Amino acid sequence: MSAPAAWPYPFWIAHRGAGRLAPENTLAAFALGRAYGYRMFECDARLSADGEVFLLHDDRLERTTDGRGEAVEQAWAALARLDAGAWHDPRHAGERLPMLAQVLAFCREHDCMLNVEIKPAPGDEVRTGRRVARVLALERFATPPLLSSFSPAAIAAASAVAPALPRGLLLETFRAGWRDDAGALGCVAVIAECAAWTPETAAQAAAAGLRRLAYTVNDDAEAERLRALGLDGLITDQVDHFRP
């Protein structure tokens, strides 16, 4: 097997912008993560009812905004008015849900990189993958975003629209068929829950020519264990502790 291509991404990646230190998936979080020295961020991209791509982790709005209900059932005009900051801290009251295009502009301005997780609502995998890829395909990047998803269908749909973008398969466990899926989707990486990485799974991924990343790594012992396995990147909430 030939040597894998050079890996352009930093080892430490800030989860949802700044982990838990700011309202997740907001521009305030990206600014704070950058202030701590991070140059790559993980974020969650999903769709409004009218097909706009914006950042939100959950299917529903209640946890991280003052809205209610399923995000995919609401038009962007309504979502754009929600407060996505006050739940975290009164200092962030009035922070809005950002569109993916706004986050790309931030990263372009500050020379940062992204891991964009395609986060489809149930049954909306293909539409979400296509729309996220179309937004990214409009941009020019010094280093292209790493696209990822737990949904093979979403990754396949994104690949059909923007085949040049690097792709990573997200896994909670190393389920049966994961290597076949990663190969069929043309993935360059597998991004697994940190406890799922063992010497055996790390060796299997390496043998498949895949880069290896872990989420969400928040303590020193786990970080050192994963470093010893030779992983290529760790996604963390602890941006004030792990300094890139």
Respond yes or no: is residue 241 known to be catalytic.
no
> How much of the chain is in helix, strand and coil states, percent to nearest 5?
35, 20, 50
In sign, the C-alpha dihedral spanning 211, 157, 138, 32 is: negative
Q: Do 185 and 169 meet the contact criterion of CB atoms below 8 Å apart?
A: yes
Respond yes or no: is residue 88 known to be catalytic.
no
* Bridge partner residues of 147 (DSSP): 116, 167
Q: Do 143 and 176 meet the contact criterion of CB atoms below 8 Å apart?
A: no
3-state secondary structure of 201: helix
Long-range contacts of 208-214 (CB under 8 A, 24+ apart): 208/179, 208/182, 208/183, 209/1, 209/4, 210/182, 211/4, 211/7, 211/168, 213/13, 213/168, 213/189
Unique residue bearing structure tokens 């690097």: 166
CA–CA distance, 216 with 197 (Å, rounded to integer): 12
Measuring CA to CA, how many Å separate 63 from each of 40, 58, 99, 182? 25, 8, 19, 32
- Residues that are catalytic: 15, 57
